A and B are shown apart, each in its own frame.
Chain A
Amino acid sequence: MLYRENGQFKTTYRQDQQMLPILQDRIFMALLLLFVFGVAPFIFSDYLFLSILIPFLVLSLAAIGLNLLVGYCGQISLGHAAFMSVGAYAAYNLVLRVPQLNFLVVLILAGLIAALVGLLFGIPSLRIRGLYLAVATLAAQFFVDWTFARVKWFTNYAPSGSVSTATIDIFGWTVDTPVRKYLFLLAVVTVFALVAKNLVRGHMGRAWMAMRDMDVAAEVIGIRPVYAKLTAFGVSSFYVGVAGALWGFVYLGSWEPLAFDINLSLNLLFMIIIGGMGSILGSFFGAFFIVALPILLNQAPEWLGIHLSTAMVSNLEAMIFGSLIIFFLIVEPQGLARLWAIGKEKLRLWPFPH
């Protein structure tokens, strides 16, 4: 009853093309932003920030990045954690070697370096696709893992191979407490998500989607495959690189090369399958799901009075992830985002469905 667009007439093209065409959506988004920026920092506990919201925000950013490539451009990648680690180590070395740089600049530069590496490994996508591309991106994963584990310069000759970061300082505002970390991440993720949403609505995103849906037809209507595929790889790696830098600096604080192994790559892929391929909103759903499910699985048996060993919990987690992947691929290939859209459709008709 409340969610109805009757009477909202579009009289200009500008109005017709806006990101949230329905008034109620705009109100909802405004309230949501008000809540997460203005209310949440005061009412949530540190535990909630540290164990759920901070990883959720960083992984959402990474999932958006992967979604741009896999969901929008249709190029599979099993090696995106590698680009995250490129971003993280690039940021680490920039902060270490050029300490006068502002962290925001470092973040952008780290993203650009990751984008360069992504472009390099994206070049094979011009000639191969599908399964072959999956293997090529796996090569990126293993090669990058190895590079950061073995080439001592990247870890500043740390004997154990692990690196630790200094506290981030932005114009005198130190990002040290959980609330400040949360706010910083929230601001970054909001900006990046907005940019991504508009990228995929624009010329570039349309080129990607055309490539995804049918590459031959896309070329016939004048989309350059080289341009479309390489921009997808570049932008995607940029996002993921920024996410990697944030993952290292804000969430982990200190990390080893194994922090960015293939399991993280696969987890990113699961996020966008479960959340919804080809949907920015879905990336958030998927990231939240992947972050929250293990915590829920750890807590739920305790509430029910059953005690499970940690090994059993991780096995259960793997089983549930695996089943959900298959379930979503079969039943709802567009993931949670599609369920959200169906919910909205239903709400528009409610309570008179005819």
Chain B
Amino acid sequence: MKRNRNLIILCVFLLAGLIMPLATGASDPGFYIEVLLGGLMAGVLYSLVALGFVLIFKASGVFNFAQGAMVLFAALSVARMAEVMPLWLATLLAIGIMIAFAFIVERLVLRPLVNQDPVVLLMATLGVTYFLNGFGQAVWGSDIYEINLGIAKEPVMILQNLFQGGILINKDDVAAAVAAVVLVALLALFFQKTKTGRALRAVADDHLAAQSIGIPLNRIWVIVWSVAGVVALVAGVIWGAKLGVQFSVSQVALKALPVVILGGFTSIPGAILGGLIIGVGEKMAEVFLAPIAVKAFDLAGGGIENWFAYVLALLFLLVLPEGLFGEKHIDRV
């Protein structure tokens, strides 16, 4: 009961923060909705990266720090191969590369470290992160590369008669959102309707039980890392098409950590909702809260979005330790 009350208080605060700029008239509705949409778009990308985390965590209990590096590597592969061949072929080849990567990781990292402490596995994926970042840039180069999806980049004005000045949205943002929705739908189908998907869910539920009824754990891990690789590829291509493929893409993984805390480590809907909440919250904080903070404390610029996601996640952790949709478990010391 007490926990629920805390949660309600937190939610009320968040909602108040969300409505405040509009209610106090600090911004006009059109601009407000633009910020909101911008936040949602960033949130879609966070969701995609977080989705990769959740898939791997569910199936193998590994907290995959390397997801960001996988996003960068996949995006670099697509971008550089698309220079010499059509985009669709480059994407297919990149998917092949990510599957090969899954095999290698399973064989060289996961299998020797099976049944180790989660923190040890986390550190191992840190090693994978460094290796993959170095390897990707050694092979594909470390400049900024473009991915051209063939979608016009100029913004489109909509709802001009509803708001003064209308709302600007980018076509590629809409395409990104559509791609994300399609991907999630495909994943849901894969998990719910195929035999492999059912095996994956069984492993996520209980490793030992799954193994004892004859589900090959090693193969499941390869599959799940491959799926996470494909998700990383989609995220990387969308991000790369928007901002260019460069090293900073891999840093998006750091933003996905609070997302999985918020949504729960084991929940796919949680990852998506968490990503959207973090994306919107962070944009709102940066646009509306940062100027106030800068004025009040005489700061040298805003940049609240660097840590806002983490503080939000910590707040959630205090009232809801298992996240929005995570599995509830009790262990105490």
Contacts and interface: CB of A to CB of B under 8 A. Distances in A.
Interface of A: 76, 124, 127-128, 130-132, 134-136, 138-139, 142-143, 145-146, 149-152, 161, 215-216, 219, 225, 262, 266, 269-270, 273, 311-312, 314-326, 329-330, 333
7 contacts: A124-B314, A266-B126, A311-B137, A315-B137, A322-B129, A326-B124, A329-B127
B154 to A, nearest CB: 34
Interface stretch (B76-84, B210-218, B230-238, B298-306): B298-306
A325 B261 contact: no
Given A135-B310, A142-B310, A326 B109 contact: yes
Given A132-B321, A142-B307, A318-B134, A330 B254 contact: no
A262 B254 contact: yes
Contacts of B7: none
B303 A322 contact: no
B45 interface: no
A215 B313 CA distance: 25
Contacts of B318: 127
A146 B321 contact: no
Interface string B97-120: 000000000001100110000111
B132 A322 contact: yes
How would you classify the secondary structure of chain B's contact residues: helix, strand, loop or mixed?
helix
A238 to B, nearest CB: 23
A95 B267 CA distance: 50
Interface string B296-333: 01111111101100110110011001000000000001
B123 interface: yes
Given A143-B310, A321-B130, A325-B127, 9 more contacts: A76-B122, A128-B321, A131-B119, A151-B297, A151-B299, A270-B126, A318-B131, A322-B127, A322-B131
A189 B299 CA distance: 36
Contacts of A138: 254, 257, 310
Contacts of B311: 139, 143
Contact of A142 (B123, B265, B297, B306): B306
B1 interface: no
A270 B127 CA distance: 9
Nearest to B255: A142
Contacts of B122: 76, 131, 134
A219 B331 CA distance: 14
A152 B294 CA distance: 11
Contact of A325 (B108, B123, B300, B314): B123
B63 interface: yes
Given A132-B261, A139-B313, A326 B138 contact: no
Nearest to B333: A215
Contacts of A134: 63, 119, 122, 257
Given A322-B127, A323-B131, A329-B127, A149 B300 contact: yes
A311 B299 CA distance: 35
- Of all A-B residue pairs in the complex, the 10 with the closest CB atoms, nearest first, are A322-B131, A318-B134, A325-B127, A322-B130, A139-B310, A319-B134, A315-B138, A142-B307, A326-B127, A315-B134
A124 B130 contact: no
A333 B120 CA distance: 9
Residue with the greatest number of chain A CB neighbours at <10 A, chosen from B112, B124, B126, B137: B126
Contacts of A146: 303-304, 306-307
Nearest to B134: A318
B248 to A, nearest CB: 13
Contacts of B226: none
B128 interface: yes
Contacts of B63: 131, 134
A143 B303 contact: no
Nearest to B302: A150
Interface string B122-148: 111011111111110110001000000
Contacts of A316: 134, 138
A350 B304 CA distance: 61
B127 A323 contact: yes
Contacts of A76: 119, 122
Contact of A326 (B118, B128, B313, B314): B128
Nearest to B139: A315
B34 to A, nearest CB: 25
Contacts of A216: 333
Contacts of B134: 314-322
Contacts of B113: 329-330
B300 A150 contact: yes
Contacts of B133: 315, 318, 322
A230 B113 CA distance: 30
Contacts of B299: 150-152
Contacts of A143: 307, 310-311
A131 B265 contact: yes
A278 to B, nearest CB: 13
Contact of B124 (A124, A266, A314, A329): A329
A73 to B, nearest CB: 12
B277 to A, nearest CB: 16
Given A152-B299, A266-B126, A326 B119 contact: no
B261 A135 contact: yes
A255 to B, nearest CB: 16
